Structure 1
Amino acid sequence: MLAKGLRSAPRAHGRPGPLPSCVPTHVAPVRAHQRRGLAPEPRPTQARAQVLVQSGDTAVQQASTSSTTNKSTVPKANVWEIDFCSRPLLDERGKKVWELLICDPDRNFEYSEYFPNSKINSAELKRTIEKLLAQAGAERPEKARFFRSQMQTIITKALTDSGIKAVPSRRCFTVMSWINERLDTVYKQDPRYSDKAQSLFQLDLGPPEALPDALRGEQWAFVQLPLGTLLKMLKKVDEAEIFGGSFSLATVGLQELPSDILIPGVVVFSRRALPLAAWTNGLEIAAVKADVARSCLILETGVNQRWKYGSWKPNEDSIGEAEGWEIAKQSVKGVHFLAVQPDPDSEDLNGLWLLQDSEPPSI
């Protein structure tokens, strides 16, 4: 079903070419690039997805100014996104002010609170979490994502002690967008703001590793799909009909994207598509990149994991297609998708993940 609705890039003599810069006038069936053979899947039921698709402590420990006033502070979502880090603010002692941000992926719930640097520990964080959950109507989430590996010990312990699963993940699209927003609307407006207190955040990404055999599919293809159609398909993810992950484009400032704009993606075909989609669903996929220098796809998962996710023979056509796919991704602010289905002619779609290739917050 997915392949029949996807729009593939035009091919020269059956070989891949650059993605078009405009919406094509017809829907072409997706063809698996058999020359891009992936290692056969193992017998175990595991899967692989590939997508191309102030002074003093008491003065500081207070609720920080939120960028919105119509958000609930009572958590009800099953998933949280958390950030706990210093901000470019200095108290009267010249010490950095820390801030806790918690929201749900749809940003219906928001919570923010400043902390003095003398109270940065798991016990203080747990107390704040329990205070939130003690509110009337509050619901304890199943899990909470966070993207700063240097805070893993504190955040993991606080969440675990509160009965919440801690998930290191760059699928924190909402809270990362919120931090970028607050840099201009909150922190720089605060009299305590200081450029000298601004610590630039950088991800520690190493070279990509070889993909485990358990995650390998058989064929893959660069594809593109109109945003409106993609969003309709993602409703199956929201309704738990298929494996996958989604997020609201409005929470990352992309609500104005037109429904007919083409979103680039990668589709992976596998005879074991269902177990592959199920296995892939536990990877916390952040993004897929076309690495021209390595002639392969790079799958980024967790906080800083990178995997070689499919390859192509380097030639003018394949390089042009890979570069065109990355350009198409940049034109829609990094939004792209990954899909898994049995074969190009199948009516079944087993997995679909909406992704965004974006830089993490600078602070």
Structure 2
Amino acid sequence: MSSTLGAQRLVAPPAHARSSIQSPCTLLPHAPTRRGTQLRASAPQQRRIQRRGQVVVCSSDVAVQQASTSSTGKAVPKSTVWEIDFCSRPLLDERGKKVWELLICDPERKFEYSEYFPNSKINSAELKRAIERILAQAGAQRPEKARFFRSQMQTIITKALTDCQIKAVPSRRCFTVMSWINERLDSVYKTDPRYSDKAQSLFQLDLGPPEALPDALRGEQWAFVQLPLGTLLQMLRKVEEGEIFGGTFSLGTAGLQDLPMDILIPGVVVFSRRALPLAAWTNGLEIAAVKADVQRSCLILETGVNQRWKYGSWRPNEDSIGEAEGWEIAKEGVKGLHFLAVQPDPDSEELNGLWLLQDCEPPSI
């Protein structure tokens, strides 16, 4: 295969031509801190995905019965990043009140914590005490930041994390904890005698119309592309090693461990003569997904919890509409997995930024 991302065109039935569109890609500012790197895309490589282990349950509130099993092997945090969810569950206590649950894990699920709370103890002080108990364990390491995806809990979670000297980050890049919640719905909550359909609160994102990004940074061109999963994972090692800007996550903990290494993953590559600063600015965003909005004839960049930005556009015609629709169909075929890349131009072998993304609905509870 070519070493240039731009050479990998997306093909989806019916066949259609690539739209050659100037893209008004503009991104929010975040100061550059690292250099770019020369990166060649090589043949797909197999990558072992670690299976999930048992759920760790820690509880200090004896008034709320735990419904899960525990395993001390995952009780002590070591990661610099946490993912947190603090919300009611479809469980009712003896008073008919909703039971709340705190879930904390790291992106690899090497650390897991679960604790139930009565609805009378839903405040930042109680959450802070739970976090302090975790950090008080021998060998526990304080994370630099913790992501959470429920905007309605932002005040409580942010206050508790800040008091614990942990940066609170509203973000839908909580792929691991969201997958864990979906897993627990069937394996834990529905098997609990306190489970009740009446207690199930459906969670919905409040997404408004996309906004125009500032003109501080603008990519000259962009293109739909595709890469074999094995190749993409190999390229993401540069992100893991800190050689290029970007973000990645474990396929296993996000429920994507069954994807074959040779399956083609759709992506968007942005070309810019100022690719390094562009990648640096992009790295300051909590990128959740990129979507092709056929009705608006533009790409939509989704960041944070509910932010949406007009990221690139095309002239509506049969070919461009077909390509956009084909790209979205390709995403659906790989459970929403896709990527965003930044490089100087279509012929360059230099890659300055690479972000692995998943277009998925948040947990329904």
Instruction: Render the CA deviation track for 1:288-336: whole Å, top value 9, x for unaligned.
Output: 0000000000000000000001000000000000000000000000000
Deviation, 1:346, is 1.3
Which of 175, 197, 205 does residue 203 from structure 1 map onto?
Answer: 205
Distance 2:252 2:307 in 1: 27
Distance 1:82 1:2, change over 3 A: farther
Aligned to 2:155: 153
Aligned to 1:81: 83
How many residues are paired up? 338
Distance 1:39 1:184 in 2: 41
Deviation, 1:35, is 2.9
Aligned to 2:38: none
| SS of match in other structure, 1:193 | coil
Aligned to 1:286: 288
Distance 1:32 1:39, change over 3 A: farther
Instruction: Render the CA deviation track for 1:4-34: whole Å, top value 9, x for unaligned.
Output: 2565337xxxxxxx53699xxxxxxxx9965
| SS of match in other structure, 1:113 | strand
Instruction: Render the CA deviation track for 1:27-62: whole Å, top value 9, x for unaligned.
Output: xxxx99653343799999779xxxxxxxxx944446
2:288 paired with 1:266: no
Aligned to 1:164: 166
Q: CA RMSD in A?
A: 2.6
Distance 2:200 2:215 in 1: 42
* 1:213-232 correspondence runs (5 A): 213-232=215-234
Verify the 8 A CA contact 1:79 1:142 in the aligned structure 2: yes
Paired-residue identity, %: 78
* 1:169-318 correspondence runs (5 A): 169-318=171-320
Quick check: 306-315 or 35-44, which moved more? 35-44
Distance 2:295 2:328 in 1: 13
Distance 2:79 2:61 in 1: 30
Verify the 8 A CA contact 2:2 2:8 in the aligned structure 1: no
Which of 7, 12, 15 does residue 19 from structure 1 map onto?
Answer: 12
2:110 paired with 1:124: no
Deviation, 1:65, is 1.2
| SS of match in other structure, 1:170 | coil
Distance 1:118 1:87 in 2: 14
Which of 48, 65, 70 does residue 68 from structure 2 map onto?
Answer: 65
Which of 38, 45, 53 does residue 24 from structure 2 map onto?
Answer: 38
Distance 2:8 2:155 in 1: 44
- TM-score normalized by the length of structure 2: 0.87
Aligned to 2:348: 346
Distance 1:240 1:183 in 2: 36
Verify the 8 A CA contact 2:7 2:346 in the aligned structure 1: no
Verify the 8 A CA contact 1:6 1:225 in the aligned structure 2: no
Verify the 8 A CA contact 2:83 2:107 in the aligned structure 1: yes
Deviation, 1:216, is 2.2
Distance 1:142 1:197 in 2: 34
* 1:94-113 correspondence runs (5 A): 94-113=96-115
Distance 1:218 1:346 in 2: 14
Q: Which amino acid aligns with 2:178?
A: M
Deviation, 1:213, is 1.0
Distance 1:280 1:73 in 2: 34
Distance 1:127 1:237, change over 3 A: same
Verify the 8 A CA contact 1:64 1:112 in the aligned structure 2: no
Distance 1:2 1:119, change over 3 A: farther
* Structure 2: unaligned runs, 5 residues or longer: 34-59
| SS of match in other structure, 2:84 | strand
Aligned to 1:9: 9
- TM-score normalized by the length of structure 1: 0.87
| SS of match in other structure, 1:279 | helix
Aligned to 2:53: none
Aligned to 1:26: none
Verify the 8 A CA contact 1:7 1:225 in the aligned structure 2: no
Verify the 8 A CA contact 1:9 1:19 in the aligned structure 2: no
Q: Which amino acid aligns with 1:107?
A: R
